[in-house]
């Protein structure tokens, strides 16, 4: 799992290497035997392996999100849950993280459940979209088709709330699209 807030998900008293070692071996969590794998994980997320002995507070928000991704990849999963992982990032960093995820999905053959309220991000990263309303699944389908012709009124309402969408309105006039 990749959490929304990577900063609070890391123990501030542990180095990056210690945190990643724990993800690799939760029982022993020893750094020495897994240093090469930690370096590999950091490289996979475009961080310098020489930073493994630093602490989470010494990294920017985008770098901490990369650390959280590295930690999620440590056990070599096939399925990753990414919970609102770009919500606290500026647009440039958000784009970098999304491109990194796309690359990792392709290279590592990952399946990802990407949870987000940001429909532009959903459209960019998803092959399939599921829309929930009060915990109930109201729509499931290919991203392009769902965005072009939503089947459920709630999905249409969500899409109509995005500036730039033809359905978007600030007044009470009904949408024409």
Higher-confidence residue of 51 and 163: namely: 51
Task: Note the pLDDT tens digit of each residue in 140-174.
Answer: 999 999 999 999 999 998 888 876 666 555 565 55
pLDDT score for 173: 55
pLDDT score for 2: 95
- Residues 45-50 have a mean pLDDT of 97
Phi, psi (degrees; rounded to nearest 5) at 158: -60, -50
- Mean confidence (pLDDT) of the chain: 90
pLDDT score for 174: 56
- At residue 66's C-alpha, the angle toward residues 95 and 1, to 5°, is 105
Q: Is 31 helix (H, G, I), strand (E, B) or coil?
A: coil
pLDDT score for 129: 95
Q: Enumerate the domain spans of the chain.
A: 6-113, 127-177
User: 175 falls in which pLDDT band (50, 70, 90)?
Assistant: low
Q: Is the pLDDT of residue 64 over 80?
A: yes
Residues 53, 59, 63, 69: is their CA dihedral positive or negative?
A: positive
Task: Note the pLDDT tens digit of each residue in 18-44.
Answer: 999 999 988 887 888 899 999 999 999
Residues 105 and 112: beta-carbon distance below 8 Å: yes
Dist CA 102 CA 124 (whole Å): 10
pLDDT score for 170: 53
The DSSP element (H or E) to which 79 belongs, if any, is strand 79-83
In 3D space, the residue among 113, 23, 122 whose CA is nearest the CA of residue 74 turns out to be 23
pLDDT score for 171: 60
Task: Note the pLDDT tens digit of each residue in 69-90.
Answer: 999 999 999 999 999 999 888 9
Burial of 135 from C-beta contacts in 10 A (0-12 / 13-18 / 19+): exposed
- Determine whether domain 6-113 maps to CATH 1.10.110.30: no
Task: Note the pLDDT tens digit of each residue in 119-134.
Answer: 888 988 899 999 999 9
Residues 89, 93, 98, 103: is their CA dihedral positive or negative?
A: negative
């Amino acid at each position: 799992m990749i959490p929304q807030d990577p900063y609070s998900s890391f123990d501030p008293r542990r180095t990056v290497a210690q945190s990643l070692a724990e993800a690799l071996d939760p029982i022993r969590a020893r750094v020495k035997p897994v240093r090469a794998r930690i370096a590999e994980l950091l490289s996979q997320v475009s961080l310098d392996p020489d930073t493994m002995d630093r602490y989470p507070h010494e990294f920017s928000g985008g770098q901490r999100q990369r650390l959280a991704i590295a930690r999620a990849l440590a056990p070599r999963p096939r399925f990753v849950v990414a919970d609102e992982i770009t919500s606290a990032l500026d647009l440039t960093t958000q784009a970098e993280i999304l491109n990194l995820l796309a690359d990792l999905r392709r290279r590592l053959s990952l399946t990802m459940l990407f949870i987000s309220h940001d429909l532009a991000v959903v459209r960019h990263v998803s092959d399939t979209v599921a829309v929930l309303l009060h915990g109930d699944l109201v729509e499931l389908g290919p991203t392009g088709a769902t965005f072009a012709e939503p089947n459920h009124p709630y999905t249409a309402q969500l899409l109509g709330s995005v500036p730039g969408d033809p359905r978007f309105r600030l007044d009470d006039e009904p949408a024409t699209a």
